[in-house]
């Protein structure tokens, strides 16, 4: 009896150990699976890359704009959106309106809050066709999304806000600092079965010095599935920087210098004309 009990006890311990091992194995497998899942997702997130070829644009006397190209790799078959923006801020603009029903005058000022001074969006297809409205608004992609994101004061209602946002975009597009277009991004499958993408954009000289953010979005099933970023810095250098800094930081000296040069030039040219006999 005693012997039988011992055998049963050993059997039970053995079963318990086996169960423990099974549970541990299951846990390990689950953990491994999770790790693999995570690794897989991680690989997907790291798949989209973005690099701006010309990330430091310098402004000297002969600067007349530049070009910026953005290239990278994405999963095959996804659509892409490239958005280049300056940091958001507030802008105040004069507002024209009709006075006495006939005369166009400046009738006040409008304040545009949470607006970038520079906003460019390029996409493989029309953003409205590849992204849901919610996703466009979430990532502020496209003018309708930007319109929702921006605060305009003072406006009476949504209709008036839409009208002045339209005018704002027109004003910015005229200044070459706002644009949206589709079909400019070139894509091709590489040897590894991934998608290479490339876009070359004109960088307008009207874009002010500062930091710009290049955001690339991979889009599938009306959703942004991946995101990558790069930076572009625009900086004044040499005499351009010296003069701009002087105008801001030493305005009195700058003012005297401007007047002195103008007086000198006026007298100088007069002397040349006198010598040349031009004034008589």
Partner 1 sequence: MYLYLPVALTSINILIPVGLGLAVGLLSGLFGVGGGFLLTPLLIMFGIPSTVAAATDSNQIVAASTSGTYAHWKVGNVDFKMGLYLLLGGFIGGIVGVQAIKLLHAMGNADFVIKITYILMLGIVGVYMFIESLQSMRKKKDGAVEVAKEEKESAMGRFLKSLPLQTRFEKSGITHSVFVPIVLGGFVGILAAIMGVGGGFLMVPIMVYMLRMPMHVVVGTSLFQILFTCIEVTFLQAYTNHSVDFLLAVLLLVGSTVGAQVGAVFGRKLKAEQLKILLAAIVLVVTVKIVFEVTLTPSLLLSQVGGH
Asked if 170 and 28 count as a contact pair (C-beta separation under 8 A), the reply is no
Q: What distance in Å separates the CA atoms of residue 51 and residue 73, rounded to the nearest whole number?
A: 10
Q: Which of 162, 200, 225, 247 binds partner 1 (CB under 8 A)?
A: 247
Find the shortest distance in angstroms from Cβ 166 to partner 1. Answer: 9
Q: What distance in Å separates the CA atoms of residue 94 and residue 90, rounded to the nearest whole number?
A: 14
Contact between 280 and partner 1 by CB under 8 A: the answer reads yes
Residue listed under structure tokens 């500062």: 210
Sign of CA dihedral 115, 119, 123, 129: positive
Non-local (6+) Cβ contacts of 176 within 8 A are: 204, 206
Name residues contacting partner 1, limited to 3-42 (CB under 8 A).
Answer: none
Q: What distance in Å separates the CA atoms of residue 179 and residue 170, rounded to the nearest whole number?
A: 10
- Total residues contacting partner 1 by CB under 8 A comes to 62
User: Looking at beta carbons only, is 60 or 134 nearer to partner 1?
Assistant: 60
Find the shortest distance in angstroms from Cβ 53 to partner 1. Answer: 21
CA distances for 25 relative to 10, 13, 16, 35, 251, angstroms: 22, 18, 14, 15, 76
Instruction: Give the tokens for residue 101.
Output: 């029903």
Contact between 251 and partner 1 by CB under 8 A: the answer reads yes
What is the phi/psi pair of residue 169, to 5°? -65, -40
Find the shortest distance in angstroms from Cβ 88 to partner 1. Answer: 18
Q: Which of 43, 44, 45, 60 binds partner 1 (CB under 8 A)?
A: 60
Q: Which stretch binds partner 1 (CB under 8 A): 25-33, 49-57, 154-162, 258-266?
A: 258-266
Contact between 65 and partner 1 by CB under 8 A: the answer reads yes
Contact between 105 and partner 1 by CB under 8 A: the answer reads yes
Find the shortest distance in angstroms from Cβ 211 to partner 1. Answer: 16
Q: Which of 109, 153, 190, 229 binds partner 1 (CB under 8 A)?
A: 109
What is the phi/psi pair of residue 204, to 5°? -70, 145
User: Looking at beta carbons only, is 45 or 67 nearer to partner 1?
Assistant: 67
Asked if 214 and 83 count as a contact pair (C-beta separation under 8 A), the reply is yes
Contact between 208 and partner 1 by CB under 8 A: the answer reads yes
User: Looking at beta carbons only, is 53 or 208 nearer to partner 1?
Assistant: 208
CA atoms within 13 A on the CB side of 215: 16
Name residues contacting partner 1, limited to 115-174 (CB under 8 A).
Answer: 164, 167-168, 170-171, 174
User: Looking at beta carbons only, is 49 or 236 nearer to partner 1?
Assistant: 236
Residue 79 neighbours by CB distance under 10 Å: 21
Instruction: Give the tokens for residue 38.
Output: 């995570």
Q: Which of 42, 89, 183, 255 binds partner 1 (CB under 8 A)?
A: 255
Q: Which stretch binds partner 1 (CB under 8 A): 30-38, 46-54, 56-64, 214-222?
A: 56-64
Find the shortest distance in angstroms from Cβ 168 to partner 1. Answer: 6
Non-local (6+) Cβ contacts of 149 within 8 A are: 114, 137, 140
Using DSSP bridges, classify how beta strands 79-85 and 119-123 pair: parallel, antiparallel or unpaired. antiparallel
User: Looking at beta carbons only, is 119 or 197 nearer to partner 1?
Assistant: 119
């Amino acid at each position: 009896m005693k012997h039988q009990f011992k055998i049963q006890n050993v059997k039970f311990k053995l079963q318990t150990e086996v169960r423990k091992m099974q549970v541990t194995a299951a846990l390990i497998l689950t953990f491994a699976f999770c790790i693999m899942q995570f690794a897989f997702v991680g690989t997907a997130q790291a798949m989209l890359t973005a690099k701006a070829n010309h990330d430091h644009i310098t402004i000297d006397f002969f600067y007349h704009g530049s070009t910026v190209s953005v290239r990278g790799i994405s999963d095959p078959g996804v659509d892409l959106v490239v958005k280049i923006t300056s940091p958001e801020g507030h802008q105040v603009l004069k507002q024209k309106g009709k006075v006495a029903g006939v005369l166009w005058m400046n009738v006040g000022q409008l304040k545009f809050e949470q607006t970038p001074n520079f906003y460019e969006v390029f996409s493989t297809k029309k953003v409205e066709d590849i992204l849901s409205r919610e996703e466009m608004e979430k990532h502020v992609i496209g003018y309708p999304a930007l319109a929702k994101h921006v605060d305009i004061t003072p406006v009476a209602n949504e209709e008036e806000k839409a009208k002045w946002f339209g005018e704002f975009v027109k004003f910015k597009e005229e200044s070459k600092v706002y644009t949206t277009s589709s079909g400019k991004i070139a894509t091709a499958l590489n040897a590894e079965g991934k998608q290479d993408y490339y876009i070359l954009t004109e960088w307008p000289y009207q874009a002010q010095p500062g930091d710009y953010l290049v955001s690339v979005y991979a889009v599938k099933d009306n959703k942004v599935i991946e995101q990558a970023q790069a930076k572009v810095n625009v900086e004044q250098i040499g005499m351009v920087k010296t003069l701009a800094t002087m105008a801001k930081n030493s305005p009195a000296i700058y003012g005297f210098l401007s007047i002195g040069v103008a007086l000198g030039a006026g007298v100088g040219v007069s002397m040349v004309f006198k010598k040349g006999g031009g004034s008589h």
